[in-house]
Amino acid sequence: MCVAGGWDGGMNVLSSVELYNPVMNIWTKIASMQTKRLLHALVSYNGRLYTFGGSDYPFRSNRLNSMESYDPREGKWKSLKPMNEGRSGLSGVVYNDEIYAIGGYGLKSVERYNIRTNTWTNVGSLNHVRWGSCACVVNGKIYVIGG
């Protein structure tokens, strides 16, 4: 399990990252993200972490479009191609070897990241604006719940 970024309840947005090992019941700090983020998405794919979107300030609607990836072999985060739109409060999933950024504050749009080509493509819209929703993949379909 991974906890990345967040907010300290005051004026500070975090970039710190910790991994939890449930077998040993320990938390381990790894390298901090390059960007401080809250209300962002975080997914894991092929042993790497990918984080994207969010906000870098707790009381403004500054929506980030940036993306970065953590490779445990290198022990550091690397910037990747930014999304087409800034998204805060979005959902993220991995489906068919690609990463999806879904909704966000004031948004119905969905975009897809191709890991091999480092490119984002707009792929459609939700029926409703979704902010703070959850998303999952079940039986070959992406479901977006709540928000």
Number of domains in the chain: 1
> Side by side, which strands form the sheet with 76-80?
41-45, 48-52, 67-71, 76-80
Q: Note down the domain range covering 50.
A: 2-145
Q: The CATH number of the domain where 122 resides is what?
A: 2.120.10.80
| pLDDT tens, position by position, 77-114 | 999 999 999 999 999 999 999 999 999 999 999 999 99
- Split at pLDDT 50, 70, 90, the class of 59 is confident
Q: Convert the pLDDT of each residue in 15-27 to its tens digit.
A: 999 999 999 999 9
CA distances from 57 to 7, 37, 54, 73, 147 (A): 9, 8, 9, 31, 21
- Specify the 3-state DSSP secondary structure of 60: coil
Average pLDDT of span 35-55: 97
Q: In the sheet where 91-95 sits, what is the strand order? A: 91-95, 98-104, 107-114, 119-125
DSSP 117: T
